[in-house]
Amino acid sequence: MSRFWSPVVHTLTPYVPGEQPQMQRLVKLNTNESPYGPSPKALAAMSSQTNDDLRLYPDPEGVALKQAIAQLHGLNPNQVFLGNGSDEVLAHVFAGLLKQNKPVHFPDITYSFYPVYCKLFSIDYKTIPLGKDFEINTSDYNIPNGGIIFPNPNAPTGRSIARSEIEKLLANNKDSVVVIDEAYVDYGTESCIPLLRGSSCPENLLVVHTLSKSRALAGLRVGFAVGHPALIEGLERVKNSFNSYPLGRLAQVGAVAAIEDQAHLEKTSAKVIQTRNKLIEQLNALGFDTLPSTANFIFTRHPKYAGAKLYQALRDRGIIVRHFKSPRVEEFLRITIGTDEQSGELVTALKEILT
């Protein structure tokens, strides 16, 4: 503590990211990274850009990347906003769109960065409890609010809702922004992006994506938001009041090549889905109770073994998963889907622990 801190710093409870242990030979299933590498085309593009041009600032507008994203999703480039990871995009969304006179609403169990941004930007928020099966019921959000945000599929539960549910939410919520964080959408969830195409684009829907999960570029730090041009313009105002160059030259060329390599995304996501479905079966055969997942992770508990104990026993065997000590979910483990081999090691370790 220092007497030189700004007053708000004393009130912050920063987000605690999943650990990135430096030990070798770990089965790392704790931060939802892809077990497969990024597109080889992205790596090649970055290598070829590793030259003297790095003395120059990058394109502050990220024009080429906005075009690639717009092209992929059938949008106009002025509907795309870029950031240094979707966490930075989300920070600008909270500061620029969700700081209103009424509280922003999000689920009680969700991405734990949301309340952290609320504290940082002094935004009032209200949490809406998930249903008894940890599902989001959009009808619970039909109350006055200063904005709504949740991931679809939700994190850390992995449960998703249909696009038609989000259309209902939009219909009932015309006076504030609805932000759908689609970090894990590529593993079997219906995206809301089609709603943004053409002249029927709603004024108040923003969809946030990241290249950190299904595109296997967590180390590059690229995320984006898509929505109505007027929402994007507001985000650009915030971004250009904070950092004009959030994405470096390598990040921009790598991201363009990654976005263009849809075949790589589809192949690796299909593999993750296959491994996930098999793992759920194997865990349930061991007595686990696993929520349905359309993400690259699962949320599971065992009726006879405490979450904290299982977490530690796995850790002792070199397998790192995520455990949250919060109410309602402390019996659960969130397990990232790795390779088939990693899944096998996990199941073997659990069999040993449960006997």
Ligand X SMILES: *Cc1c(COP(=O)(O)O)cnc(C)c1O
Residues that bind ligand X (CB under 6 A): 85-87, 111, 151, 155, 181, 183, 210, 212, 218, 223
Compute CA distances 9 → 54, 123, 246, whole Å.
35, 15, 23
What's the CA gap between 187 and 13, in Å, rounded? Answer: 31
Query: Is the CB of 117 or the CB of 141 nearer to ligand X?
Result: 117
Rounded distance between C-alpha atoms, residue 266 and residue 263, angstroms: 5
Minimum distance from residue 192 beta carbon to ligand X (Å): 15
CA–CA dist 73, 60 (Å, integer): 22
Smallest distance, Å, CB 194 to ligand X? 21
**Whose Cβ is closer to ligand X: residue 210's or residue 290's?**
210
Minimum CB separation of residue 286 from ligand X in Å reads: 26
C-alpha closest to that of 216 among 267, 289, 162, 147: 267
Q: Are 81 and 88 in contact (CB under 8 A)?
A: no
- For residue 156, whether the previous peptide bond is cis, meaning omega lies within 30 degrees of 0, is yes
- Select 45 or 217, whichever has its Cβ closest to ligand X: 217
Shortest distance (Å) from residue 351 CB to ligand X: 29
Minimum CB separation of residue 354 from ligand X in Å reads 29
Q: Which is nearer to ligand X, 130 or 350 (CB)?
A: 130
The beta strands (E) that lie in the chain are given as 27-28, 80-83, 104-107, 125-128, 148-151, 178-181, 205-210, 223-227, 289-290, 297-301, 319-320, 332-336
Tell me whether residue 179 or residue 350 sits nearer to ligand X (CB atom): 179
Q: CB-wise, 86 or 343, nearer to ligand X?
A: 86
Q: In whole angstroms, how close is the CB of 86 to ligand X at the nearest point?
A: 4
Whether residue 159 contacts residue 297, with contact meaning beta carbons closer than 8 Å, is answered with: no
Distance of closest approach, residue 111 Cβ to ligand X, in angstroms: 4
What count of other Cβ atoms lies within 10 Å of the Cβ of residue 268? Answer: 21
Peptide bond into 14 cis (omega under 30): no
Q: Which is nearer to ligand X, 68 or 183 (CB)?
A: 183
Q: In the complex with ligand X, which residue's Cβ is closer, 16 or 285?
A: 16
Q: Which amino acid is at 215?
A: R
Question: Nearest residue to ligand X, using CB?
Answer: 85
The least distance separating ligand X from the CB of residue 287, rounded to whole angstroms, comes to 28
Cα separations in angstroms, 172 against 129, 143, 148, 263, 275: 19, 9, 12, 37, 38
Return the number of the residue (182 or 261) whose C-beta is nearest ligand X. 182
CA distance 209 to 137: 22
**Structure tokens that stand for 352 in this block:** 């040993």
C-alpha Rg value of the chain to the nearest Å: 20
Least distance (Å) between residue 335 CB and ligand X: 14
